[in-house]
Amino acid sequence: MARVVQKFGGTSVADIARIQSAAAKVKAEIDRGNQVAVVVSAMAGATNELVGHVTAISTLYDVREYDAVVAAGEQVSAGLMALALQGQGVDARSWLGWQIPIRTDDAHGKARIQGIETDELLRGMAAGQVPVVAGFQGLGPDNRITTLGRGGSDTSAVALAAAIGADRCDIFTDVEGVFTTDPRIVAKAHKLDKITYEEMLEMASLGAKVLQTRSVEMAMNHRVRLQVRSSFSDAPGTLVVDEEEIVEQEIVSGIAYNKDEAKITLVRVADRPGVAASIFGPLSDAHINVDMIVQNISEDGKATDMTFTVTKADFERACEVLKSHRAALGYQRLIGDANVVKISIIGVGMRSHPGVAQTMFTALAEKGINIQVISTSEIKVSVLISDDYAELALRALHTAYGLDAD
Ligand code: ASP
Ligand code: MG
């Protein structure tokens, strides 16, 4: 007997027919003799609608009430899933975050899970009852409902899997698994059978939207065996595993892109100790995250150019903050550009293979694509380019790294 967590995303519970077919997948797992705990997202579109109701009243809302409202979507889908299971002869009941409870910190709207009480859940499971857990929500130290940030039910599922010591955590979604890159852009993209935690973490944080980044982090830390798979077929999906489990490691496993960044250049800021701190301090005080950073060498030893990226959502605000500190920063000009895309190649094989970045630069050069900013880590290389070339670049790189499906 295995213990399995099955998580169904919004599109997998979008309407009653889909909830019925998701319930059938749970029943099939039970019929194989396994113990199952289910985690559900809200029905597709439900959370957006609830967020819309909140922001229609005020954009400067009380986040505790925001949580009370937006957590409601999962209450509905959890109840419906339990009913569908009962209808198929499976003993099941819904569990809301506060009933278990799933304890979180007090960061309303983006809370972190701190602990899950599992005794009652496990007792029910042992007696043959399927707990249907509302994803995305928890209980804060203030005894109020919290939510885990958009896409957070992935994290609920992984946290639950870790807490009950599940053998597997299946994430059912509307795609067949994790692809080498976005198949809507690159027709030759193919599904990966396996990907390492580290690569998946980079893929998720660099723009692939299939899993919430935090859920991958948690799976990696607790060694939860994750599988991303389609709720519309029975085909195996992508397993997220330890590096040792991958026999034939490609040098580059995947290519991610992120159109959500904007570039800011400060022309001629003073080249002296403390200047970076004086630029990025005010930005961080304003809760603006900076991603890529490059600083040029200065020709005259007096001034240099500083370029960095922020999210598009923070772009205007970042420019305002920098303008209001202009006197202290003493830059000559601020140039902003939101028409950029960040493209990243990812692969743990890079650690042991030289020349991986060079292939990227050559492939882009051959297409006449100018690289504006470069950043690297042990297992990824990211470049910032004009967003006019996003698709061309993705296709060229996919071919250059031998990822095209035949
Ligand atoms: N329903 C929530 C959202 O739309 C959580 C989730 O789906 O993972 O963000
Ligand atoms: Mg999701």
pLDDT, tens digit (0-9, with 9 covering 90-100), for 51-100? 999 999 998 899 999 999 999 999 999 999 999 999 999 999 999 999 99
**Mean pLDDT computed over 257-264:** 96
Binning pLDDT at 50, 70 and 90, where does residue 280 land? very high
**The pLDDT of residue 103:** 98
List Cβ neighbours of 145 (8 Å cut-off, separation of 6 or more).
64, 67, 68, 71, 97, 98, 137, 138, 139
**The pLDDT of residue 208:** 81
Q: What share of the chain is helix, strand, coil (3-state, %, to 5)?
A: 40, 25, 35
Element spanning 46, H or E: helix 46-57
**Minimum CA distance residue for ligand 1 atom 9:** 150
Ligand 1 centroid, distance to 191 Cα (angstroms):
24
Instruction: State whether residue 303 is helix, strand or coil.
Output: strand
DSSP state of 179: B
148/52 Cα distance (integer angstroms): 18
Binning pLDDT at 50, 70 and 90, where does residue 321 land? very high
DSSP state of 32: T
Q: What CATH code is assigned to 3-174?
A: 3.40.1160.10
Binning pLDDT at 50, 70 and 90, where does residue 250 land? confident
Query: Of the bound ligands, which one is closest to the alpha carbon of residue 174?
Result: 2
Name all contacts of 270-279 with Cβ < 8 Å and 24+ positions apart: 270/302, 270/303, 270/330, 271/298, 271/301, 271/302, 271/303, 271/304, 275/306, 275/329, 276/306, 278/325, 278/328, 278/329, 279/306, 279/322, 279/329
Ligand 1 pocket (Cβ < 6 Å) reads 10, 41-42, 47, 73, 135-136, 150-154
